[in-house]
Amino acid sequence: MKKLLLVEDNEMNRDMLSRRLERRGYEVLIAVDGEQGIAAAKEHRPDLILMDMSLPVLDGWESTRRLKQEPDTQGIPVLALTAHAMAGERDKALAAGCNDYDTKPVDFVRLLGKIESLLPS
């Protein structure tokens, strides 16, 4: 079973997305801010990280940058999720080291496609 780490501060989005991913056969780990996310990534080594960008304590961009600097975690693909469909968001996420990007509200089928293509086979 593939292990996903979902870093998301909004409780409803976290609950909804984790339940939907579990229905599709993924194991889903949860973190609620950037620092927790980094700690969880180091401890559990997930196969992929779904990272919200507007996070408290440490935002998604900075968290991703740190994950990509650590030898332990830099190999884990990071899929950025953000509610801002604002201009430049995609570039900002990719510049921080994210492997791909998707906007919220999520188009679940599209998100699954992106997850599948990023997961190591």
Partner 1 sequence: MEKPIGSVPAFSGVTYLRPDHRGSPFQIPVHATATPHESDSATEATYRSIVEHAIEGIFQTTPDGQYLLANPALAHIYGYESTDELKGNVQEIARQLYVDAGRRPEFIRLMSENDSVWGFESQIYRKDGTVIWISENVRVIRGDDGAVLYYEGTVEDITARKRAEYELRRAKESAEEASRSKSQFLANMSHELRTPLNAIIGYSELMREEAEDLALKSFIRDLGKIESAGKHLLALINGVLDIAKIEAGKMDLHAETFEVAKMIEEVSATVAPVVEKNGNYFEIAAAPNLGTMHTDLTKVRQSLFNLLGNAGKFTKEGQVRLEVERLTDSGRDWLVFHVRDTGVGMTPEQTQKVFEAFTQADASTTRKFGGTGLGLAITREFSRLIGGDVTVKSALGQGSVFTLRVPAILASGETVESEAPSDSLGAPPETAEFVAGQPQVLLIDDDPTVHDLVRRFLQKEGIQVIGAHNGPEGLELARKIRPAMIVLDVMMPTMDGWSVLTRLKGDPELSEIPVVMLTMVNNREMGFSLGVDDYMLKPIDRSDFVATLRKYCNRQDKPTVLVVEDDVVTREMLRASLEKEEFVVVEAGNGVEALEKLATLRPALILLDLMMPEMDGFQFTREVREHADWRDIPILVMTAKDIAAEDRALLDGQVSRILQKGACAREELLSEISHRVARCARPLETVAI
User: By CB under 8 A, is residue 119 in contact with partner 1?
Assistant: no
**Residue 93: CB minimum distance to partner 1, A:** 9
Question: Segment contacting partner 1 (CB under 8 A): 42-50, 66-74, 77-85, 113-121?
Answer: 77-85
Look at residue 21 and give its three-state secondary structure.
helix
For residues 38 and 62, is the Cβ–Cβ distance under 8 A? no
**Residue 95, C-beta contacts closer than 8 angstroms, at least 6 positions apart:** none
Question: Which region, judged by CB under 8 A, interacts with partner 1, from 37-45, 51-59, 72-80, 113-121?
Answer: 51-59
Degrees, nearest 5: CA angle 81-19-79 = 20
Choice between 26 and 44, CB closer to partner 1: 26
